[in-house]
Structure 1
Amino acid sequence: MVGFLLWLLLLVVCWPLALLALMLYPIVWLVLLPFRLLGITVTAVFSLLGAMLMLPARVLRGRPA
């Protein structure tokens, strides 16, 4: 919502720049999409490694004495 209000303010102050931003937004989003997917993948790999390393501790902690 704040982004939309800032865009409306930019439209009132400098409409050619606002229209250029409106046209470039999808292109920038497409360029940044692989980096987002890479970030999701790296997070998933680190979560998997963390779960694998913590598994022995969880098994030993869950065993009755």
Structure 2
Amino acid sequence: MIGFLLWCLLFVVCWPLALLALVLWPLVWLVSLPFRLVGIGLEAVFALLKALLFLPARLLGGGR
């Protein structure tokens, strides 16, 4: 909602820039998509490493 209000403010102040932002936003989203996928993959790898490192402590801790 705040993003929409900021866009409306930009539209009032400088409408050509607001229309350009409206047109280019899907392209920016498409370009950033691979980086998001890499981030999700790295997060999964780090979660797996954390689980492997803490596995002995969990086994010896008795499930606490």
Taking structure 1 as the reference length, what is the TM-score of the superposition?
A: 0.92
Q: Which residue of 2 is the match for residue 25 of structure 1?
A: 25
Q: Distance in 1 between matches of 2:51 and 2:35?
A: 24
1:15-45 deviations in whole A, cap 9, x for unaligned? Answer: 1110000000000000001111111110110
The count of residues paired between Structure 1 and Structure 2 equals 63
Q: Give the residue type in structure 1 aligned to 2:9.
A: L
Q: Which residue of 2 is the match for residue 10 of structure 1?
A: 10
Structure with larger Rg:
1
Taking structure 2 as the reference length, what is the TM-score of the superposition?
A: 0.93
- Percent sequence identity is 71
| Unpaired segments ≥5 residues, structure 2 | none
In the alignment, is residue 51 of structure 1 matched against residue 47 of structure 2? no
Q: Distance in 2 between matches of 1:3 and 1:61?
A: 47
Q: Give the residue type in structure 2 aligned to 1:2.
A: I
Aligned-CA RMSD value = 1.1
Q: Which residue of 2 is the match for residue 37 of structure 1?
A: 37
